Structures are given as structure tokens and as C-alpha cells.
Amino acid sequence: MGRLSKDKRDIYYREAKREGFRARSAFKLLQIDEELNLLEGVRNVVDLCAAPGSWSQVLASRLLAPRAEIEAPSRGGGGAAAAADAASIVAVDMYAIQRRRSCLSMNSRGSRRPFSDFLDPIRGVTESSAYVVFFSSGDGAHCRRSSGAGGHHPCVHGPGSEVLGHLRGDPADLVVCDGAPDATGVGDFDEYVQHQLLLSALLLAEALLRPGGGFVAKIFRGEHAAELMFRAAFASSIFDDVVVCKPRASRNSSQEAFVVCRGFAPLAGPGTAPALYSPGRHAELVDLGPGSARLVVPFVACGARDGPDADTNYAVGPGHRLLGPVAPPLQAPYREALEERRGLKRAAAAAAAGAGPPA
Ligand code: SAM
């Protein structure tokens, strides 16, 4: 699909480029915030699975004082206080978000080629070198028994400690995770890995959050969604409130949704059993007869009803200016494939030229 047809087919892709967002996902976070006031009172945020960085851009634009307020204390006298009180945003991903790179890479035929890729830093966002490590269920049980920021949580000794270091030891008010592992195309396997990522992000969030904090994560409502809802139910025993959101910027045709948990209530200490679930402000337990109850997690549609629809094709005007991507991918595998193809074409052309015209 050409870039122009993508502009027509995907209005959020087009708008993201126009507004300078690195990905269309920015609008999903904006719409969730619009509906649930997610960012109100938030200062420290951890953005898990953040590359290329559009959620971090939204967080920075919403939570950080304008540059002038921080850099010019004389203007209005509030600058120093603003700097001290500035929000901390820590971004975590397996791939580079804003690091500058200049190195030699090796292609599959063994020849080395120089390249220097870089993305501009997102002001006010610290990139962590940690990533979301998959924990086994055994780790999970231990994590839960001793949760709370800075406690004896095993996550705290790995990625958690690195992230907390960037937060200067302060726990996070909010942890968000828009993570998706690279798809293999094998549906069940991809869904399983996605669930593991969600669970690992939840464990990491438990290690990072302050009491009362919030957690937002992408889920896929696939065949095993019931299991996922069970996880959400578990989350609700450590959060006051759990809802599942579908932002308008997320295509209806996609199974993607976001679980939003608020009011983190860490377990009291080692050996503490999870509290029996007591429905939060929104979720409810539906009595299904003797000995059986089902947790109903509310489903909330986010984004203005008359806002652009992610599944609709919108025509572009005759004067439409095609914009390039805000953040071209670093070291994208397709670049190597393209170079290989160009190399093969050049070699074929040279061979044809060397053979000379047929006698
Ligand atoms: N929220 C991002 C934005 O707005 O730009 C988009 C995130 S993208 C949909 C999913 C990201 O999850 C990818 O960048 C991928 O590298 C990351 N990811 C997948 N598994 C991960 C892991 N175990 N640890 C860290 N990042 C991971």
C-alpha cells in the first residue's frame, strides 16, 4: 500500500503526522484520558513498550511545564519550583526510542555498511535501557507476596530498579503499557505471548507504583479473553477499579482494547493473601446462582462520537500534502531487504553490461 492510500485509509495515521506524533497510537491514549481523566494529578509515569514514542510524546506534552517556565526562572518567578516539581517520564522498550546511533551493521552476505540513525529526543523523557522481562508464574507469586515500590520484589532487582533509579527512587503514579510482541502469524502463540507480556508488565507495575497509582495496558480480546478477564479480576484485587476501554482511534476490526486499573492497593507484606475481590467503583460481581459468580468488567468506549472513525476511508483534498513519517524506524529489517534487492539488481545489470550485446 502506498503512503497516499494509507493517508486516505487511515485518518489517525494522517493526523499523527500532521500533529508531529511518532505513531497514531497517540490518539488512543489521548482518548482514554479524555474519557477517564487518567492524567489528572499524575507526576511520575513509566511508559512500558514505548517505541517509537508517541505515548511518551503525549505524556510529555500533558505533564511537563512549557520549556519557558522551566528554563527561565526569572519570568514569573515560578521556574525553579517548576523545575523541582517537574514530572518524570521514563520510557522503556526493547528498541531504541531516542538514542542516537552511529555504527556499522553487517548484512546477510557479511559485508559491513555504515549507517547513522537517530531520532530526536523527546524533551523531558528519559529512556531506560531496561525492558519488560517475562517472569514465570513462580516469580509472580513471589512478587505478589512482597509487592510495593522498593520492597523485596524481584522485579525491583532487575528492570524495576533501573526504572526507579530514573525516578530518583520515587514510585510511579502511573504505569502504561502499549506493548505488543512481534507477531509470528501463529494466532494462538501470538495471543499467548501477548498475555505473558501483559502479566509481566502488571508485575513490574506492582513494583513501581505508589499506593493509589494507576496501570493501563493493551489487551487483545481473543479466543482466550476469559483468561484475560480473570487476570483483570486479579488486578482488581490490587486495584480499586478496573475498566476495559476501546478508544475510537483503535479500529473496530481490531481485537485490541485497553485495561485501565486505578487505585493501586499493594498487599500488606510477605505472606499476605490477596484480599477477596470486592467490586470497585465500576466492576460488579454478578450472582449466577449458588456458589457461582462472574466478574463483569465494564467496557467503556472512548473518544468523541462525532470524532474520526478509525475504520473509515476519508478522501484527501486535491492540495493534500503527503508528509513523511515523524519517526522512521531505526534499523528496520525491510531496509536491509531493500538494499539486498538493489544490490542484486545492480549485480544483474553489471553482469548484463559485461556480457555485451549478443553477437
Ligand atoms: N506506545 C508506543 C507509541 O505510542 O509509540 C507504541 C508501542 S508498539 C505498538 C509496541 C512496542 O512494544 C514495540 O516497540 C516493541 O518493541 C515493544 N515490546 C514488545 N515486547 C517488549 C518487551 N518484552 N519489553 C519491552 N518492549 C517490548
Among 298, 236, 288, 284, which residue's Cα sits nearest to residue 263?
A: 236
Q: Is 326 in the pocket of ligand 1 (CB under 6 A)?
A: no
Catalytic residue (one of 17, 28, 218, 246): 218
- Classified as helix, coil or strand, 175 is strand
Q: What integer pLDDT is reported at residue 10 of this predicted model?
A: 84
d(CA 51, CA 127): 10
Q: Which atom of ligand 1 is nearest to the CA of 178?
A: 1
pLDDT level of residue 356 (50, 70, 90 thresholds): low
Among 214, 311, 209, which residue's Cα sits nearest to residue 259?
A: 214
Encode pLDDT of 165-180 as tens digits. 899 889 999 999 999 8
d(CA 242, CA 245): 10
Encode pLDDT of 199-242 as tens digits. 888 888 988 999 999 999 998 877 666 556 556 556 666 888 88
pLDDT level of residue 142 (50, 70, 90 thresholds): very low
Q: What integer pLDDT is reported at residue 333 of this predicted model?
A: 61
Bridge partner list, 127:
91
pLDDT over 90, % of the chain: 24
Q: What integer pLDDT is reported at residue 149 of this predicted model?
A: 47
Q: Where are the alpha helices (DSSP H) in the chain?
A: 3-9, 11-19, 26-36, 54-63, 67-71, 79-84, 137-145, 154-157, 159-166, 187-208, 225-238, 333-355
Q: Is 197 in the pocket of ligand 1 (CB under 6 A)?
A: yes
Cα 12 to Cα 48, 55, 197, 343, distances in angstroms: 22, 14, 26, 36
ipTM for the assembly: 0.98
The answer to whether 63 and 19 are in contact (CB under 8 A) is no
Among 66, 87, 90, 86, which residue's Cα sits nearest to residue 76?
A: 66
Q: Which atom of ligand 1 is nearest to the CA of 182?
A: 19
d(CA 96, CA 173): 24
Q: Which residues contact 300 (CB under 8 A, 6 or more apart)?
A: 35, 36, 243, 244, 245, 246
Q: Is 179 in the pocket of ligand 1 (CB under 6 A)?
A: yes
Encode pLDDT of 305-341 as tens digits. 888 889 888 887 777 888 877 776 655 666 677 778 8
Among 268, 297, 267, 265, which residue's Cα sits nearest to residue 281?
A: 297
Q: Is 190 in the pocket of ligand 1 (CB under 6 A)?
A: no
CA-nearest residue, atom 14 of ligand 1: 51
- The H or E element containing residue 47 is strand 44-48
pLDDT level of residue 7 (50, 70, 90 thresholds): confident
Q: Which atom of ligand 1 is nearest to the CA of 132?
A: 24
CA-nearest residue, atom 19 of ligand 1: 181
- What does DSSP say about strands 256-264 and 209-220: parallel, antiparallel, or unpaired? antiparallel
Instruction: Using the mean position of ligand 1's atoms as its centre, give its distance from the Cα of residue 244 in Å.
Output: 20
DSSP state of 112: E
Instruction: Using the mean position of ligand 1's atoms as its centre, give its distance from the Cα of residue 79 in Å.
Output: 34
Which grid coordinates are listed for 259?
485495561
Among 134, 157, 99, which residue's Cα sits nearest to residue 327?
A: 99
d(CA 145, CA 137): 13
| Locus of grid cell 486535491 | 318
pLDDT level of residue 46 (50, 70, 90 thresholds): very high
- What does DSSP say about strands 299-302 and 239-247: parallel, antiparallel, or unpaired? parallel
Q: Could you tell me the pTM of the whole model?
A: 0.78
Say whether 246 is catalytic.
no
